[in-house]
Amino acid sequence: MIRPLNAIFWILRGIRVYALVGSTGTGKSFRAKLVAQKYGIELIIDDGLLIRGDQLIAGKSAKKEALYLGAVKTAIFHDKPHRDEVTRALQHEKFRKILIIGTSEKMVSRICERLQIPQPFKTIKIEDIATKEEIEKAMQSRQIEGKHVIPVPALEIRRNYPSIFYDSVRVFLKRSFGSGASLPKIYEKAVVRPEYAKRGRVAISEAALSQMVVHCVDEYDSSVKVKRLAIRDDSHGYRITVVLEAPYGTKLASNAHALQEYIVDNIERFTGILVAEVNIVIDRLTPRRKGKGKRY
């Protein structure tokens, strides 16, 4: 929940938050600058980084993390020093609009809460700005080649994250003006291979995957506890069964479905593995503790 004083601060400044949402590897970062151009958005938050134009303003990249769990935490600003750095930068930057990129509306909502900024004024889904063929091509690039995009020029990534830099790509966009004339605008984007997804190092044990699932459950609803986990891998992907202990009053049907999506989105986003299914089993109901519960 955004604090009252912070809410007043952002309201007085007339800040509007935009969200760009889509499943992992669908090309959100690739199209971020185009969305920002269309809506006149000055700042972008993507995978733990605060970006203005062609510069990295604050934060750290989740793609630099060596472990999957570390990447998850970085992307949602779990660590206080990281969160505070970006919050301070936001308070000093002059802007009216900011774009937050996430795999789901829940993820974007969590980022807004942690950075103490308003919830999204407008949510844009990747399916609204990219064709089915473009999305499939982006997913193939992610799953087969392990390539990720950061919406800043290659020079910025070479300077700040040389170990993950792979290549660069340029996007041409025509800008129309009142006279009917149009001028080309060129956006350069860096292509990287994250530390946690470099070829030759991609492997995930059952223990590591279990740790990620437990973390996702705790992030989604700290009052729900994981009692047991069963993980099976077949030709269609990983099949995960999560046995939970939940407090009385939990909206089991809707929350369980949303939790399934949250687990799948985060695991696929930060590991590159395919999750075929996540089964949620509520094994026991317990009294709800005060101060505990769903965080967003």
Q: What percent of the chain has pLDDT over 70?
A: 66
List the domain boundaries for the chain: 4-197, 206-286
pLDDT at 83: 93
Q: What percent of the chain has pLDDT over 90?
A: 26
Asked if pLDDT for residue 159 goes beyond 50, the answer is no
Is residue 140 predicted with pLDDT exceeding 50? yes
Q: Which residue has the higher pLDDT, 19 or 11?
A: 19
HSE toward the beta carbon, residue 23, CA cutoff 13 A: 16
Residue 185 has pLDDT above 60, yes or no: no
DSSP state of 103: S
CB burial of residue 285 (10 Å; 0-12, 13-18, 19+): middle
Token pair, residue 63, equals 């793609």
Predicted confidence (pLDDT) at residue 293 exceeds the cutoff of 70: no
Contact 129, 10 (CB under 8 A): no
pLDDT higher than threshold 60 for residue 247: yes
Query: pLDDT (tens digit, 9 = 90+) per residue, 32-54?
Result: 888 988 999 999 998 899 999 87
Q: Please, are residues 30 and 138 in contact by the beta-carbon 8 Å criterion? A: yes
Strand-strand pairing, 225-234 and 237-247: antiparallel
Give the residue-averaged pLDDT of 137-148. 54
Domain covering 4-197, topology:
Rossmann fold (3.40.50)
> What phi and psi values does residue 162 have, to the nearest 5 degrees?
-60, -30
What does each C-alpha distance from 32 to 26, 39, 42, 65, 95 come to in angstroms? 12, 11, 11, 22, 17
Averaged pLDDT score across all residues of the chain: 75
Q: What is the mean pLDDT of residues 222-239?
A: 84
Residue 294 is classified by DSSP as B
Q: Are 238 and 255 in contact (CB under 8 A)?
A: no
Task: Report how far Cα 164 is from the mean position of its chain's Cα atoms.
Answer: 18
Residue 222 vs residue 81, higher pLDDT: 81
Residue type, 176: S
Query: Residue 218: pLDDT above 70?
Result: yes
> For position 125, what pLDDT does the model report?
93
Confidence of residue 165 (pLDDT cuts 50, 70, 90): very low
Burial letters 137-150, b for 16+ CB under 10 A, else e: ebeebbeeebbbbb
Classify domain 206-286 at the CATH topology level: Alpha-Beta Plaits (3.30.70)
Residue 104 has pLDDT above 80, yes or no: yes
Query: Where does the pLDDT of residue 279 fall: very low under 50, low under 70, confident under 90, or very high at 90 and above?
Result: very high
- The predicted pLDDT at position 154 comes to 43
pLDDT interval class at 3 (50, 70, 90)? low
Residue 221: DSSP 8-state: B
Q: Report the pLDDT value the prediction gives residue 221, as an integer from 0 to 100.
A: 85
Q: What is the pTM of this model?
A: 0.55
Q: Is the pLDDT of residue 153 over 70?
A: no
Residues 251-274 pLDDT 10s: 665 678 888 888 988 887 777 677
Contact status, residue 217 vs residue 226, Cβ threshold 8 Å = yes
**Both tokens assigned to 50:** 């605060």
Specify the pairing of strand 43-46 against strand 49-52: antiparallel
Res. 162 pLDDT band, cuts 50 70 90: very low
